[in-house]
Amino acid sequence: MGGSFSSRPPPPSPLLSAPWRRINWSDNHSTLQYVKAYQPETEDQVIRILLHGLVGSGKSSFINSVESVLRNRMCIPALVGNATQDCFTREYKTYTFKTGNQGTFPFVINDIIGLKNNCSRGNRNNHVKDVKRVMKGHVKDGYIVNPNAKISKDDRFYKPTPSANDKVHVLVFVIDANKWSLMNEKALEALDDIRDEAKLLDIPQVAILTKIDEVCPEIQKDIKNVYKSKELKEKMEKVSGAVGVPMNCIFPVKNYSKELDLDSDTDALILSALKPILDFGNDHLNKRYA
C-alpha cells in the first residue's frame, strides 16, 4: 500500500535561537558591588520602593530574596505564608537592609497588604485610597490595613506633613507570571487607578514577574532560558499591554522560596531587577528634590 509513512515535522522549539535580552550570568560581582556601593545623588536621601500586587504574588518572597542576595545567605526578614493562606502581610511595613559595617543601605522596600482579586467594591476602593496615601508619604510604618476603611487623618499612623524620605520613589507591581491572566477586570481597574496616581506624582513604575519557573518547563530546567522562552516573552508582552508598563520596565525573577542555598543564576535575575529600580528611583529624586 505504498508503505510511505511520512514523518511528522518536529514540534517547534519552545526556545528562541538567541536571548532577546542580555544578562551577564558570569559576573554577578560587578552588579552586586554597584548595588552595595549605591548612593542617591540627592544628599541624605533614601530610595523608598513600594511593592504592590495581588495577594500571593510574591512580594514578601522578593524582599527575602533581595536580603539573601545582599547578605550572601538565605534570609527571611519578611514572613511568607503558604499557598493555602489568603494573605500573610497585614501591616504597612518598611524593610531596611544592613551593610557589613552595621549601617544600612540607602534604600528601603515597603510591603503592604495585597489586593484581593474578588474583594468588594468598598474594600477595593479603600485599598486604592490607602496606597495613594502611602505613595504621598502620609502612612507611618506599622499601620494595620483595614480593608473596610481607609486610613483617616486623625489616625495615629497618619502623617500630615511627610518628608521627602517618607514618600515613595519607585512603584513596583509584583505579578505572579503563572496566574496573572486570572486577574479580573475590577482588580485591573484598581491597578490602573494606582498607576494614574503614581503618574500624577511622577513616580516611576516597574513590574516584577515572579514564579517564572512555573510558566515554562525550559526555565525550570535552566533559569538561563528566561529570555529565550517564547512562552514567557509572550506573557511579558501581555502583562505590558494589560497593566501599561513597558517591556523594558518588566523584570522576570525567581524568588527564593524552597531552596536552602543560594544560586548564582537566581541571584543574577534578582540583581538585574534591583539595579534599574534603584536607578529609576535616583532619577525621580533628581527631578523632584535636587
**Which CATH number is 196's domain given?**
3.40.50.300
Query: Given strand 93-95, what is the order of strands in its sheet?
Result: 93-95, 107-111, 47-53, 170-176, 205-210, 250-252
Question: For residue 113, what are the contacts with CB-CB under 8 A and spacing of at least 6?
Answer: 55, 87, 89, 90, 91, 92, 127, 145, 147
C-alpha cell at 5: 509513512
C-alpha cell at 114: 495585597
What's the rounded Cα separation, in Å, for the pair 212 and 112? 23
Residue 113 lies in a domain: yes
Give Cα separations from 34 to 11, 17, 207 (angstroms).
43, 31, 21
Question: For residue 120, what are the contacts with CB-CB under 8 A and spacing of at least 6?
Answer: none
Question: For residue 226, what are the contacts with CB-CB under 8 A and spacing of at least 6?
Answer: 19, 23, 212, 219, 232, 252, 269
How high is the pLDDT of residue 123? 86
Residue 40 lies in a domain: no
Find the domain containing 184 and state its range: 46-288
Residue 28 lies in a domain: no
Question: For residue 108, what are the contacts with CB-CB under 8 A and spacing of at least 6?
Answer: 46, 47, 48, 49, 94, 95, 96, 97
* Geometric angle at alpha carbon 59, from 123 and 37, rounded to 5°: 135
How high is the pLDDT of residue 86? 54
Q: How many domains does the chain fold into?
A: 1
C-alpha cell at 14: 519552545
Residue 173 lies in a domain: yes
Residue 63 lies in a domain: yes
Residue 228 lies in a domain: yes
How high is the pLDDT of residue 84? 45
Per-residue pLDDT of the chain (290 residues; tens, 9 = 90+): 455 556 788 889 999 999 999 998 988 999 999 999 999 988 889 999 999 999 899 999 999 999 999 999 999 877 765 544 555 567 899 999 999 777 899 999 999 988 888 788 888 899 999 999 999 999 999 999 888 889 999 999 999 999 999 999 999 999 999 888 888 888 899 999 999 999 999 999 999 999 999 999 999 999 999 999 999 999 999 999 999 999 999 999 999 988 999 999 999 999 999 999 999 999 999 888 76
Residue 161 lies in a domain: yes
Residue 236 lies in a domain: yes
- In this structure, are residues 253 and 212 in contact, taking their beta carbons and an 8 Å threshold? yes
Looking at residue 73, what DSSP letter applies? S
How high is the pLDDT of residue 117? 82
How high is the pLDDT of residue 290? 63
What residue has cell string 528611583?
Answer: 281
